[in-house]
């Protein structure tokens, strides 16, 4: 029995057998991973090169005792606290145009959960031409204005979450209350796509 | 010609996507551009022609995660 006992056998089967990639294990990625495991997913490919630091604790799915640990290792441990029976593929790498589609080659859907605008742009331009669904979050900093965060389908295979406006470079802080909304909308889009519904 | 930009009908004299977006203050290097339901890849924006009735959207890529 998976973590989510509310699902039908069919739904549980789809979510347990699907493999989804998560690019970045920060404010977006760590929370997306947590929500997908709670939803009943078991196969995740997660890539991040960073370590947990104190400034992450305002929004990321880590704990004070994990400061200094590699994010992918700390996240894997936390996900296994929810569901021990997981098939996690962890990549301690900085994603580049040369490795991005190799890292996520076996995934049905990839979640873009990177932080800098340059990394997001690189990732989208590298992976979108391959045609698999990419669930990206752009514009989630600050607080308030919950209703400005939307899900849009762009082109054939981009699901874009966010307000596309509030930029941390313009002084909007990355805060858990709003990053969490975007992460939940990304996870919700993934689950919906896998179950054959509108994201 | 008339095009639909970000969901609103707009009159423009621009004949390329790049010229139209520049007129509207969009830095295409910092945006995802969608023309008639297809994403226009970074390098292709410069060459993409605009046509009567085109549906164009640009989504700014901002930082945060």
What is the value of ipTM here, to two decimals?
0.90
Give B27's contacts in chain A (Cβ within 8 Å). Answer: none
Check residue B5 and give its pLDDT.
97
The answer to whether residues B59 and B7 touch, using CB atoms and an 8 Å cutoff, is no
Question: Would you call B51 an interface residue with chain A, using a CB distance cutoff of 8 Å?
Answer: no
Closest CA to A34 of A96, A102, A97, A113: A113
Mean pLDDT of the residues in chain A: 96
Domain boundaries, chain A: 10-194
Check residue A3 and give its pLDDT.
62
Distance from chain centroid for Cα A128: 16
Question: Would you call A117 an interface residue with chain B, using a CB distance cutoff of 8 Å?
Answer: yes
**d(C-alpha A56, C-alpha A28), whole Å:** 11
**d(C-alpha A190, C-alpha A18), whole Å:** 10
Q: What domains, with CATH codes, occur in chain B?
A: 2-60 (3.10.20.30)
**d(C-alpha A192, C-alpha A181), whole Å:** 16
Confidence of residue A2 (pLDDT cuts 50, 70, 90): low
Q: What is the CATH number of domain A10-194?
A: 3.40.50.720
The answer to whether residues A23 and A102 touch, using CB atoms and an 8 Å cutoff, is no
For A53-109, how does the pLDDT look when each residue is reduced to its tens digit (9 = 90+)?
999 999 999 999 999 999 999 999 999 999 999 999 999 999 999 999 999 999 999
Question: Would you call B25 an interface residue with chain A, using a CB distance cutoff of 8 Å?
Answer: no
* A1 has a pLDDT exceeding 60: no
Read off the pLDDT of each residue in A16-32 and give the average, rounded to a whole number: 98
Predicted model pTM: 0.95
**d(C-alpha B61, C-alpha A114), whole Å:** 12
Question: Would you call A164 an interface residue with chain B, using a CB distance cutoff of 8 Å?
Answer: yes
Check B41 against A121: CB less than 8 A apart.
no
* B1 has a pLDDT exceeding 70: yes
Closest CA to B5 of B22, B19, B24: B24
Check residue B46 and give its pLDDT.
86
Question: Who among A115, A152, A154 is closest to B64 (CB)?
Answer: A115
Confidence of residue A4 (pLDDT cuts 50, 70, 90): confident
For B9-60, how does the pLDDT look when each residue is reduced to its tens digit (9 = 90+)?
999 999 999 999 999 999 998 999 999 999 998 789 988 999 999 999 999 9
End-to-end C-alpha distance for chain A, whole angstroms:
26
**d(C-alpha A71, C-alpha A90), whole Å:** 10
Share of chain A above pLDDT 90, in %: 93
* A164 has a pLDDT exceeding 60: yes
List the single residue in B with minimal CA-CA distance to A127. Answer: B41
**d(C-alpha B40, C-alpha A40), whole Å:** 35
List the single residue in B with minimal CA-CA distance to A139. Answer: B62
């Amino acid at each position: 029995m998976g973590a989510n006992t509310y699902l039908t056998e069919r739904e549980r089967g789809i979510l347990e057998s699907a493999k989804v990639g998560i690019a970045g294990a920060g404010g977006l990625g760590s929370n997306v991973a947590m929500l997908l495991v709670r939803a009943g997913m078991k196969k995740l490919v997660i890539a991040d090169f960073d370590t947990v630091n104190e400034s992450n604790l305002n929004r990321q799915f880590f704990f004070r005792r994990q400061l200094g640990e590699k994010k992918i290792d700390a996240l894997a441990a936390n996900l296994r606290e929810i569901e021990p029976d997981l098939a996690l593929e962890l990549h301690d790498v900085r994603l580049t145009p040369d490795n991005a589609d190799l890292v996520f080659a076996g995934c049905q859907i990839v979640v873009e959960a990177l932080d800098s605008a340059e990394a997001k742009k690189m990732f989208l331009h590298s992976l979108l031409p391959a045609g698999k669904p990419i669930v990206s979050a752009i514009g989630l900093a600050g607080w308030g204005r919950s209703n400005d965060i939307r899900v849009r389908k762009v082109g054939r295979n981009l699901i874009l979450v966010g307000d596309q406006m509030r930029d941390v470079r313009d002084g909007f802080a990355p805060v858990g209350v709003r990053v969490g909304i975007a992460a939940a909308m990304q996870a919700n889009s993934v689950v919906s796509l896998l179950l054959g519904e509108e994201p | 010609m008339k095009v639909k930009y970000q969901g609103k009908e707009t009159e423009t004299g621009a004949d390329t996507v790049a010229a139209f977006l520049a007129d509207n203050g969009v830095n295409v290097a910092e945006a995802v551009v969608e023309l008639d339901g297809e994403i226009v890849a970074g390098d292709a924006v410069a060459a993409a022609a605009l046509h009567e009735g085109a549906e164009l959207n640009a989504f700014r890529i901002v930082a945060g995660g």
